Structure 1
Amino acid sequence: MTLHVASAEPMQLYLQDARKYEYLTPEQERDLAVRWRERQDRAALDKLVGSHLRLVFKMARGYQGYGLPLADLVAEGNVGLMQAAQKFEPEKGFRFATYAGWWVRAAIQEYVLHNWSLVKIGTTAAQKKLFFSLRRLKARMQDLENGDLTPEAVESIATELSVPRTEVVEMNRRLGLDRSLNTALGEEGDSEWQDLLADDRPDQETTLAGAQERQQRQQFLKLGLGVLDDRERQILVARRLREEPLTLEELSQHFHVSRERVRQLEVRAFEKLQKAVVASAREQQIAAAGKGRELARA
C-alpha cells in the first residue's frame, strides 16, 4: 500500500487511495489483525490500515487551525496508524478504529507541539491538554480575541482543565502572539514573514576573529602563569580563575599562613601575571610589524 502525502495534489491522491478500501466488519477486522500479528501477513496489514485512512484524514483536518500543512498532519497521523496496527490486540474486544484513534491523535498532537511554535509549549499532560483545549473553550465562551482573557474566563478554564490560572494566562498569550515564519506578506504573497527578520548572529569573519582572540588570550595567560612559582599560581587560580573562588580563610588554612599573607601573595602574583602578559603581547606586535615590513619590501 502506498500512502500518498506529497505531490501536486497530495490530499486528492490520498483520498483516492483511501476510497479503494471498504469499511470492515468486526469479524473481518479481527481476522486481519490476527493474520498480521501471528503470520506477518502484509496483505492483511494493508487492508487493516487502508480501511482506516479516512479516519486519519478526518482527525488531521481537526488540527488545521494551527496553521500547519494538512499533508504533514496526515503523514504524522499515518505514522500513528501504523504504530497502532503493530500493537493492536483484537482479543481485548475493542474496535481498531477506537484503539487507533488514540495513536493517531497522539502522533498529530506531538507534531503540532513541536512545529507550531518557536517557543516550547508544554511537556506535561496538563499543559498539552490546555494547549489543545484552550481555543475550543474560548470559542464556547465567545471570547476569541487575541488579548488577555477576563478573570472569569481564566477561572472557568483553569477549573475545567485542572490547571493553575497562571498557566491559562501564559498559554493564551503564547497562542495569541506566535506567528508562522512562513506567513505570506503583501498582496501578491511573494515574500514571507521570515524574509524580514534580521539575523543577529555574527558573520563568519567576526566568529573567526573572536575565536582567534580567545586562543591568543589563553596563550598569554598560559605564558603568564609560567612565571609564577607553585604557591603563587595556586593562589591566583583559586582566587581569580575558578567559577567559585576560595576565600582567604580557606587558603590561609591550606598554606598555613595568615589571611593577610595570602592577600599579599595574590596581589603580587597578579602583578607578575600582568607584566608577563603585556610583555608577551608587545613581543607579538613587534614580530607582526617586522613580518609586515618584510612583506612590503617583497
Structure 2
Amino acid sequence: MSTDKTQTTREPAVELLIGHGANQSVNIERSNLDDASEFFGDLSLPLMRDRKAGDLSAQTDPLTAYLARLNYVEPLPAEQQQELAERYVEDGDLNAAKMLILTNLRLVVKLAREYQRRWTNLLDLIQEGNVGLSEAVKRYDPYRGVKFTSYAQYWVRAMILNYLMNHLHPVKIGSSRAGRKLFYNLKKTRRELIRLGHEPTPQLIAEYLDVDASEVTRVAAQLDAPPVFLDAQAPGHEKTTVGELMPSTMVDPETAAAEHDLSRQIQAAIDGFGDQIEDPRNKAIWYERMIAEDPRSLLSLGEEWGVSKERIRQVEVQIRSTFKEYLLAQMGDDVEIDWLESFA
C-alpha cells in the first residue's frame, strides 16, 4: 500500500474537554458514562468499567482532576492503534486521530513524570507533551513497521525538553545549535566518558560533541547551578530580595536626560553648520549626501556639478574636517562622541 497519503496536509482540531466550571462539584458515576460521547464528544472510547466512581469537588486541584479522568480511558493494544492510524492517514478520519491521542494521554503523563524533578509544575510538562503527542499523530507513518507509541515518545520528549530548555533557566540556553546540543546531551556525555574511564572535562566533552569548550563551560554553569529565586532574601540583607539587587537593563533617568540633551546639542550644531555653508555645491554635498537618510552617490553628484566623483569625495573630506572644528567650537574640546573620529 502506498505511503504517499501521509503527505496530505491535515489539521485535526483535538479538543480535550475534560475540565468543568470552577464552581461545580463533579461526580463521575460509571452509570453516566455508558455513552462515551457524553464524556469525550463524538467518540467511542474503551472505558474501564471496573473503576470506582470518584467525587471531584471544586477544591480538587487540576492535576488530580486530570489524572482521575484519565483513569477511565483504557489504553489500546498496538493492533488497534495501527488501525486508527491507518484510518486517519487513508480517510482523514478525525475521530480516529482524537481516539489515538486520548488513549495515549497516560503515556504522556508517564514520560512527563521523568522530568518532574527539574520542573515543579507537572501540568506544564503534560501540556507540552500533549502537544508533542498531537504532532506525532500528524506525522506518523503507519506503514513503516514502527509502533505508534514508540514513535510518539520521541515527539513527547522533544516538546518537553524544548520547553525546559526555554523556560527552566533565566538565561536562555538553546539560543545556539551548540547550546541545544549540550542541553540534550551534556549529562549523557558525562556518564559515557566516566564509563570509559575518562574525566569529563569541558575540553573532552567539547571534542566528544564537536562544540567549543567555552560553550560547554557556559551551558554547564547554568545546568549545574542550583535555582535562584528572585523573591528570595538576598545574602547579607534583611529586607532586600535577590531581584531587587539585580541591575536594571533600562537606562536610568539621569542618563536618558543627558543623552537627550547631547542629541539636541548635536542636532543644533548640524543645523547651524549647514546654514553657514555658502557654496551651493558644498551645501548640496552636505545636505544631499553627508546628512541625508538616503544619501546620493558620488557619481550622481559629480554628474550634476560637472566634476568627477573623486572631486566630490575630496570636497566631502574637506567639509568633514571643517564640521569637526565647528562642532568642537560649539560644544567644547572635552566632548566625547565616537563617530566624531570619522570627521578627520
TM-score by length of 2: 0.57
What fraction of aligned residue pairs are identical, expressed as a percent?
30
- Shift, 1:137, TM fit: 5.3
- Shift, 1:79, TM fit: 0.8
Whether contact under 8 Å (1:117, 1:178) holds in the other structure is no
Structure-2 residue corresponding to 1:77: 129
Work out which of the residue numbers 212, 218, 221 in structure 2 matches 1:173.
221
Alignment partners' CA distance in 2, 1:46 and 1:85? 9
- Shift, 1:268, TM fit: 4.1
Whether contact under 8 Å (2:135, 2:155) holds in the other structure is yes
Q: What do residues 31-63 of structure 1 show as CA deviations (whole Å, max 9, x unaligned)? A: 222333344444322321112112212222222
Show the 5 A alignment for 1:69-218. Answer: 69-122=121-174, 127-136=179-188, 152-154=199-201, 157-158=205-206, 161-177=209-225, 179-181=227-229, 184-185=232-233, 193-202=242-251, 207=256, 210-211=259-260, 214-215=263-264, 217-218=266-267
Alignment-mate amino acid for residue 153 of structure 1: P
Work out which of the residue numbers 274, 296, 312 in structure 2 matches 1:225.
274
Whether contact under 8 Å (1:21, 1:47) holds in the other structure is no
Q: Go from structure 1 to structure 2 and tell me whether the alpha carbon gap of 1:208 and 1:72 turns closer, same or farther (over 3 Å shift).
A: farther
Alignment partners' CA distance in 1, 2:211 and 2:327? 57
Alignment partners' CA distance in 1, 2:147 and 2:157? 16
Alignment partners' CA distance in 1, 2:317 and 2:247? 49
Is structure 2 residue 59 aligned with structure 1 residue 11?
no
| Structure with bigger RCO (C-alpha 8 Å, 6+ apart) | 1
Structure-1 residue corresponding to 2:17: 2
Deviates more, 1:263-272 or 1:81-90: 263-272
Higher fraction of helix: 1
Q: What do residues 152-187 of structure 1 show as CA deviations (whole Å, max 9, x unaligned)? A: 22166446545454443332223234744456559x
| Unaligned runs of at least 5 residues, structure 2 | 1-15, 23-58, 294-307, 332-344
What SS does structure 1 have at the residue aligned with 2:156? helix
CA RMSD after TM alignment: 4.4
Alignment-mate amino acid for residue 75 of structure 1: Q
Q: What do residues 180-213 of structure 1 show as CA deviations (whole Å, max 9, x unaligned)? A: 4456559xxx996435534352356864774465
Alignment partners' CA distance in 2, 1:110 and 1:84? 15
